Structure 1
C-alpha cells in the first residue's frame, strides 16, 4: 500500500527567497539517493511539483511555499513505503538545508 509523508519545514524567508533557494538546490536531491536518480520539477505558483525516479520506482512530491514554512508531501509507492520513517527523518533533518 502506498504512503504519503507530510512534513512542515519552518523558515523565516520571504516566499520568493524560499522559492529561489529551493529551486537552486533541488537538483542535489539526486545525489542523496543510492543507485542513481533523476529529478524532474515544475512550479505552479508557490507549489513545486517534482518526481524522483530511482531503482525502477517513481516518487511524486510537492513542496508548498507558505509564509512561515514549507509544507512537503512525498507519495511513496507501495514498494518504498517500508522506508517511510527514514524518508521522514531525512526530510526533517535535511529539509532546512534547502533553505540555507
Structure 2
C-alpha cells in the first residue's frame, strides 16, 4: 500500500477548540473527496477522529489527530485515487487552515 497523504496544520486554538471546529467542519473535509456519496463512518477515540468514506466507489480511510498546537490528517487513498493526491493534499491544507484560523 502507498504511503498516506499527511497534512499538518498548526493552530493557536488549544486542543478543545480545535476539536470542536474539526467536529463542526468534518463534512467540509469529506466533501473535498471527489465523488463522496454516502455519509462517512466516523468514530472519536480521545482526540483522534477515525473515519472512512466511499469516494468514486473506493473506500478512503484516515485519522485526524488533534493536538494542542497542531492538527494532523493522515488519509489512505486507494491506488485509483492516488492520481489526485497532490491536488487533494493542497485542498485539505487550505480547508484545515480555514477551519482552524483563530477568530
> TM-score, normalising length from structure 2?
0.84
What are the residue-to-residue correspondences of 1:32-71 with 2, within 5 Å? 32-38=32-38, 39-71=40-72
Cα displacement string for residues 49-92 of structure 1 (whole angstroms, at most 9, x for unaligned residues)? 11121221111011101111101101011111111111111112
What are the residue-to-residue correspondences of 1:55-94 with 2, within 5 Å? 55-94=56-95
CA pair 37-97 structure 1, distance change in 2 beyond 3 A: farther
Count of residues in correspondence between the two structures? 100
Q: Identify which range, 42-51 or 89-98, moves more after superposition.
A: 89-98
2:17 counterpart residue number: 17
Shift of 1:94: 1.4
Q: Which runs of 4+ in 1 moved over 6 A?
A: none
CA–CA distance in structure 2, aligned partners of residues 54 and 6 of structure 1: 18
> TM-score, normalising length from structure 1?
0.86
Quote the RMSD (CA, aligned, Å): 1.7
CA pair 41-33 structure 1, distance change in 2 beyond 3 A: same
Q: Identify which range, 46-55 or 30-39, moves more after superposition.
A: 30-39
Structure 1 regions of 5+ residues with no counterpart?
Answer: none
Structure 2 regions of 5+ residues with no counterpart?
Answer: none
Cα displacement string for residues 13-54 of structure 1 (whole angstroms, at most 9, x for unaligned residues)? 121111111111112334444434232211101111111212
